[in-house]
């Protein structure tokens, strides 16, 4: 039996939808998985096949970093659902920051970017890894100059935007490609949305019931077709957030210390290590830590409560989380270089 809460939280659309015409030159249609709403596409960045291909070319090009050693794909790898497999990814010259690289799956639906919500949209988010000193450590003006010396890029920008290489085109092309990184064909999706009642086994279904139960309360934040409500929460995992105050870095409010955007759980089995700083190595460890009910930090969400699982229940929950893996997404050749 599928839990009623799961149906309420997830079932909204039962057939694939395609992109309505956006601008007279639109020639690309997004294929939206059953159960997903159509994402917002900015008026100044309609999708075209040529723009997406240019964005993919830029995404995989290490020329975007100061020493031409690191591309966007260096920290966002397809086999890990466009996340990374290390706690903190290395930038140029071995520099490291302080946050774990997030998955880019389904970023088209995110209303605000970064773990602290410090960036308004995908287009402007491009500047963050590009210009941050411990990531690509470059400058947009210098990048434009570099790419403008490449006759292939010059031809591409002329064909797509009718202009030379410029910041507008770079940010719009990258954002357009990233909006195509859609993941919605896990065993869970096949079971819930596509009517395949053999897609999930008995253990995964028991784990799903646990996930949506009041006892665990996971779905209070990890809900909807994205498995996140995109709010900012302090989960009480740490008692001291002096190393990274989270949302408070943006708002400067003490009440936001330790709050981070609730991450999507789609493909979570592929995106270890976990937490904003990659300090939790495995899903097994992650469940154990949440079972404790948090550290009791003053900003800890009231939704975080302790719980107890039997070995069988824990195994079932792990199996359900693994059922959120979308194998077609991580092998889709259209995303490859």
Which tokens sit at 222? 């990890």
* Helix (H) and strand (E) counts in the chain: 13, 4
Q: Residues 263, 247, 271, CA angle at the centre, nearest 5°?
A: 25
In this prediction, residue 19 has a pLDDT band, given cuts at 50, 70 and 90, of very low
Longest CA pairwise span in the chain (Å) = 62
In degrees and rounded to multiples of 5, residue 83 shows phi and psi of -120, -160
Mean pLDDT for the stretch of residues 180-201: 97
pLDDT higher than threshold 80 for residue 323: yes
Quote the CA–CA distance of 115 and 230 in Å, as a whole number.
10
pLDDT higher than threshold 70 for residue 18: no
In this prediction, residue 4 has a pLDDT band, given cuts at 50, 70 and 90, of very low
Long-range contacts of 116-119 (CB under 8 A, 24+ apart): 116/232, 116/246, 116/247, 116/249, 116/250, 116/260, 116/261, 117/232, 117/247, 117/250, 117/261, 118/249, 118/250
Q: Measure Cα distances from 152 to 57, 63, 155 in Å.
A: 11, 13, 5
Buried b (16+ CB within 10 A) or exposed e, 265-296: bbbbbbbbbbbbbbebeebeebbebbeeebbe
Q: What is the DSSP letter of 243?
A: S
Q: What is the pLDDT of residues 123-142, one digit of tens each?
A: 999 999 999 999 999 999 99
Mean pLDDT for the stretch of residues 261-281: 97
Nearest to 266 by CA among 110, 112, 126, 72: 110
Cα 152 to the center of its chain, rounded Å: 30
In this prediction, residue 21 has a pLDDT band, given cuts at 50, 70 and 90, of very low
Strands (E) across the chain are located at: 17-18, 31-32, 232-233, 260-261
How much of the chain exceeds pLDDT 70, in percent? 92
User: What are the beta bridge partners of residue 165?
Assistant: none
Beta carbons of 80 and 94 less than 8 angstroms apart? no
pLDDT at 26: 53
In this prediction, residue 9 has a pLDDT band, given cuts at 50, 70 and 90, of very low
CATH of the domain at 40: 1.10.760.10
Q: What is the pLDDT of residues 232-264, one digit of tens each?
A: 999 999 999 999 999 999 999 999 999 999 999
Range of the domain at 37: 1-337
Quote the CA–CA distance of 60 and 37 in Å, as a whole number.
28
Which tokens sit at 306? 């302790």
Beta carbons of 81 and 70 less than 8 angstroms apart? no
Which tokens sit at 127? 């500047």
What's the domain count of the chain? 1
Beta carbons of 81 and 271 less than 8 angstroms apart? yes
Q: How many residues does the chain have?
A: 337
pLDDT higher than threshold 60 for residue 71: yes
């Amino acid at each position: 039996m599928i839990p009623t809460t799961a149906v309420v939280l997830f079932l909204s659309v039962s057939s694939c939808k395609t992109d309505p015409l956006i601008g007279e030159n639109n020639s690309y249609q997004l294929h939206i998985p059953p159960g997903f709403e159509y994402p917002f596409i900015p008026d100044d960045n309609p999708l075209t096949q040529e723009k997406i291909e240019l964005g993919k070319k830029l995404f995989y090009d290490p020329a975007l970093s100061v020493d031409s050693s690191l591309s966007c794909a260096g920290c966002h790898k397809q086999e890990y659902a466009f996340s990374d497999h290390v706690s903190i990814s290395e930038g140029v010259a071995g520099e490291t920051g302080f946050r774990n690289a997030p998955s880019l799956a389904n970023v088209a639906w995110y209303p605000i970017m970064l773990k602290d919500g410090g960036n308004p949209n995908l287009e402007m988010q491009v500047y963050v890894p590009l210009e941050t000193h411990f990531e690509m450590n470059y400058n947009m003006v210098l990048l434009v100059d570099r790419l403008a010396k490449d006759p292939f890029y010059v031809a591409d920008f002329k064909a797509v935007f009718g202009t030379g290489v410029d910041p507008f085109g770079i940010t719009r092309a990258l954002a357009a490609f990233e909006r195509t990184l859609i993941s919605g064909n896990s065993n869970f999706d096949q079971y819930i949305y596509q009517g395949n009642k053999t897609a999930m086994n008995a253990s995964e279904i028991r784990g799903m019931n646990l996930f949506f139960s009041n006892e665990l309360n996971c779905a209070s934040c990890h809900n909807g077709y994205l498995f996140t409500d995109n709010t900012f929460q302090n989960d009480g995992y740490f008692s001291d957030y002096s190393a990274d105050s989270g949302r408070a870095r943006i708002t400067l409010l003490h009440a936001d210390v330790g709050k981070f955007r609730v991450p999507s759980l789609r493909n979570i089995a592929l995106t270890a290590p976990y937490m904003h700083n990659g300090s939790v190595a495995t899903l097994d460890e992650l469940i154990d830590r949440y079972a404790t009910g948090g550290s009791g930090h003053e900003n800890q969400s009231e939704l975080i409560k302790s719980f107890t699982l039997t070995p069988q229940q824990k195994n079932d929950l792990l199996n359900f989380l693994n059922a959120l893996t979308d194998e077609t997404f991580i092998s889709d050749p259209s995303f490859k270089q």
